[in-house]
Amino acid sequence: MADLLHPATTEPHSLRYRLLQSGRALLSGIRRELALQIPGACLLCQQDSTGLVCDKCRETTVLRRVQRCPRCAVAMSAPAAVCGQCLRHPPAFDRSFTGFCYRAPADQLILALKFGHRTALAGWLGQQLFDAIPAHYWQDDAPDCLIPVPLSKQRLQQRGFNQALEIARPLSRLSGVELWPDAILRLRDTAPQASLPLRERRQNLQHAFGWRAEQGVLPAGRHIALVDDVMTSGMTLHEIATMLKLNGARRVSVLLAARTPSPGDAL
């Protein structure tokens, strides 16, 4: 008969196992919060570190280079011209680069940025993204400008800053490419994409973005690089790129601090 007071801790569904796991998660969350406030500790492993992330964590998470789809930057398990998704539904953007995969534990870096420690962390994320982009992109295929994906007015008020803009700033400084922070505007507030069923997501974003023409510059004939913190389905970036192409943009690149792996991808 099973021992109800002492269920096997190795059984994943046992109450004790679940309590143990949630306790561990809580402790790790608390440690992470502390690490955010204590200088000299790695944000991912909480060990002593001179940088925000120690060399060991950086090597195993951020520097773990994998084969990526040139079009949408999703990790691919086998070399191919583009991933299956881009083959079936080519996005309106032409090229994508990313710093790292948006998965545990490195996803915590993006979450930490959004929780407010933006200055140092955005600089660090911008540097990782810059390091992940081959030098020839900036030499032979350089964009005319970097434009951060705009937040909705409501989200901007809640957060107080746009994380995409904070990542674009160091990227502009490192690459020497001009930053146009306000060139794209949200014409209306949209519902958060994650709150909607898949079929409604595209409709939610249609005609949601416009070009701020009063700046005196136009997208026509230009190579525009959009900057964002994370790309998941890519629908927002697809909609913005569609708007840019309709306005005559020659080429649209997408530069991302992190990219979600495709579902079920073990990479």
| Residue listed under structure tokens 């545990």 | 104
Cis peptide before 181 (omega within 30 of 0): no
Cα torsion 80, 86, 92, 97 to 10°: value is -50
Is residue 196 within the footprint of Zn ion (CB under 5 A)? no
Closest distance to Zn ion from the beta carbon of 156 (Å) = 29
Going by C-beta distance under 8 Å and a sequence separation of 6 or more, which residues neighbour residue 175?
130, 138, 142, 146
Q: Which is nearer to Zn ion, 169 or 259 (CB)?
A: 259
Task: For Zn ion, give the closer residue by CB, 45 or 217.
Answer: 45
Query: How deeply is 221 buried, as exposed, middle or buried, from its count of CB atoms within 10 A (0-12, 13-18, 19+)?
Result: exposed
> What CA–CA distance (Å, rounded) separates 223 from 164?
19
Backbone angles phi, psi at 96, to 5 degrees: -140, 150
Q: Which stretch binds Zn ion (CB under 5 A): 1-9, 43-51, 236-244, 259-267?
A: 43-51
Element (H, E) at 127: helix 118-132
Residue 45 binds Zn ion, judged by CB under 5 A? yes
Stretch that binds Zn ion, among 40-48, 143-151, 194-202, 255-263 (CB under 5 A): 40-48
Between 26 and 80, CB nearer to Zn ion: 80
Distance CA 95, CA 140 (A): 14
Question: Which of residues 32 and 222 has its CB atom nearest to Zn ion in the complex?
Answer: 32
Point out which span in 19-27, 42-50, 115-123, 185-193 binds Zn ion (CB under 5 A). Answer: 42-50
**Choice between 86 and 132, CB closer to Zn ion:** 86
Q: Among residue numbers 66 through 125, which ones bind Zn ion (CB under 5 A)?
A: 69, 71-72, 83, 86
Q: How many residues bind Zn ion (CB under 5 A)?
A: 10
Classify residue 72 as exposed, middle or buried by CB count within 10 Å of its CB (0-12, 13-18, 19+).
buried
Quick one: 42 or 146, whose CB is closer to Zn ion? 42
Cβ 105 to Zn ion, closest distance in Å? Answer: 9
Minimum CB distance to Zn ion, residue 185 (Å): 27
> How far is the C-alpha of 99 from the C-alpha of 119, rounded, in Å?
18
Find the binder of Zn ion among 35, 44, 240, 256 (CB under 5 A).
44
Query: 106 or 183: whose CB is closer to Zn ion?
Result: 106
41 near 47, Cβ under 8 Å? yes
Q: Is 54 in the site for Zn ion (CB under 5 A)?
A: yes
Shortest spacing between CB 76 and Zn ion, in angstroms:
8
What residues line the site for Zn ion (CB under 5 A)? 42, 44-45, 54, 57, 69, 71-72, 83, 86
